[in-house]
Amino acid sequence: MTKTSDSRARHVAIIMDGNGRWAQMRGRPRLVGHHMGAKRVKEIVRACPDLGVSHLTIFAFSTENWKRTQTEVAGLMRLFKRYIRREAHDLLAEGVRVRFIGDRVKLEPALVDLMDNLELMTAGNTKVNLTIALNYGGRDEVARAARRLAHDVAAGKLDPRQINDETFPKYLDTYVLPDPDLVVRTSGEARISNFLLWQSAYAEYEFIDTLWPDFTKEVFAGVLDRFGSRERRFGAVPV
Ligand code: IPE
Ligand code: IPE
Ligand code: MG
């Protein structure tokens, strides 16, 4: 198989799925699975520099996840606040720059404040770029981008003739990020559930059976190894 000259995945995006099943298999409430999942995030972020991953984007809460029970949604929101409070110091010290994507309007102000602060606090870091997708949906993101773009057109700041596949993504939440090379989904489900629809047009996908709370750095390294032997063509014919 022909490999591209750089066969390392620099931007990996992960759909962290399977927390609920992990807990249920142990007869525990779903939230226990989410707590274990949050612990895994720490291990995986820490593993990135050694594995050559400069950008890690993780799906924490989708625009569809509001459909879950009030108990689970409230528990997840508490977990996000706790994660930010507890991890901010280590993330800063370990060179991690944190960004959030998704619509913040629907999130409670106390959480949004913590998110804003963490972004500001870590803005000078360069070792790992961690992007957390929270109240994120790919369709919602594209629709919000279209709305902002329409405002710019209406205000005379943008000529419709300038809209193309290079200018449009500047309106997406991910405007400063490279596209993901690899999208991983844990827990055996082979779907993308509204994650990074625009950005993953040419990503490789890896669907693995491991539940997110069991996703160790060794499993992560294995996934990255497999990516290294894939051939990426981007529509061209290999020479
Ligand atoms: C993913 O795990 C985490 C979130 C969606 C917040 P799930 O909660 O979807 O776990 P399963 O799919 O029910 O096992
Ligand atoms: C996708 O997982 C969202 C996150 C991992 C945050 P879900 O478990 O919500 O997706 P579906 O419902 O199985 O498609
Ligand atoms: Mg799920």
75 assigned to some structural domain: yes
Query: In Å, how far from its chain's centre is CA 45?
Result: 12
157 assigned to some structural domain: no
172 assigned to some structural domain: no
Q: Whose CA is nearest to atom 2 of ligand 2?
A: 17
Domain encompassing residue 199: 11-137+177-228
For 88-138, how does the pLDDT look when each residue is reduced to its tens digit (9 = 90+)? 999 999 999 999 999 999 999 999 999 999 999 999 999 999 999 999 999
Residue 34 has pLDDT above 80, yes or no: yes
Q: Tell me which residues have their CB closer than 6 angstroms to ligand 1.
A: 16-21, 61, 65, 76, 187
**Tokens encoding 43:** 């291990």
Which atom in ligand 2 lies closest to the alpha carbon of residue 193?
14
Share of the chain above pLDDT 70, in %: 97
For 127-171, how does the pLDDT look when each residue is reduced to its tens digit (9 = 90+)? 999 999 999 999 999 999 999 999 999 999 999 999 999 999 999
156 assigned to some structural domain: no
Distance 156 CA to ligand 2 centre (A): 39
Q: What is the rounded distance in angstroms from the CA atom of residue 162 to the CA atom of residue 83?
A: 41
Site to substitute for ligand 2 among 62, 67, 197, most atoms within 8 A of C-beta: 62
pTM, entire model? 0.96
CATH number, domain containing residue 45: 3.40.1180.10
Contacts with 184 (C-beta within 8 Å, 6 or more apart), sequence order: 12, 13, 14, 15, 205, 206, 207, 208, 223
Q: Whose CA is nearest to atom 6 of ligand 1?
A: 61
User: Of 195, 159, 188, 171, which Cα lies nearest the Cα of 17?
Assistant: 188
Residue 2 has pLDDT above 60, yes or no: no
List active site positions: 17, 65
Q: Whose CA is nearest to atom 5 of ligand 1?
A: 61
Residue 4 has pLDDT above 60, yes or no: no
For 174-189, how does the pLDDT look when each residue is reduced to its tens digit (9 = 90+)? 999 999 999 999 999 9
Site to substitute for ligand 1 among 14, 15, 21, most atoms within 8 A of C-beta: 21
Residue 229 has pLDDT above 90, yes or no: no
Mean pLDDT of 222-229: 94
Q: Considering the chain, what is the average pLDDT of its residues?
A: 96
Contacts with 3 (C-beta within 8 Å, 6 or more apart), sequence order: 228, 229, 230, 231
Q: Whose CA is nearest to atom 12 of ligand 2?
A: 193
145 assigned to some structural domain: no
Which atom in ligand 2 lies closest to the alpha carbon of residue 212?
5
Q: Whose CA is nearest to atom 11 of ligand 2?
A: 193
Quote the pLDDT of residue 7. 85
**Tokens encoding 202:** 């040419």
Distance 104 CA to ligand 3 centre (A): 22
For 50-99, how does the pLDDT look when each residue is reduced to its tens digit (9 = 90+)? 999 999 999 999 999 999 999 999 999 999 999 999 999 999 999 999 99
Distance 143 CA to ligand 1 centre (A): 25
Q: How confident is the model at residue 6 (pLDDT cuts 50, 70, 90)?
A: low
Contacts with 89 (C-beta within 8 Å, 6 or more apart), sequence order: none
Distance 166 CA to ligand 1 centre (A): 34
DSSP symbols for the chain: ----S--S-SEEEEE---HHHHHHHTT--HHHHHHHHHHHHHHHHHHHHHHT--EEEEEEEETTGGGS-HHHHHHHHHHHHHHHHHHHHHHHHTTEEEEEES--TTS-HHHHHHHHHHHHHTTT--SEEEEEEEEE-HHHHHHHHHHHHHHHHHTTSS-GGG-STTTGGGGSTTTTSPPPSEEEE-TT----TT-STTTTTT-EEEE--S-GGG--HHHHHHHHHHHHT----TTSPP-
In angstroms, the first-to-last Cα distance of the chain is 12
In the chain, the number of structural domains is 1
146 assigned to some structural domain: no
24 assigned to some structural domain: yes
**Do 117 and 81 contact (CB within 8 A), yes or no?**
no
Distance 231 CA to ligand 2 centre (A): 28
170 assigned to some structural domain: no
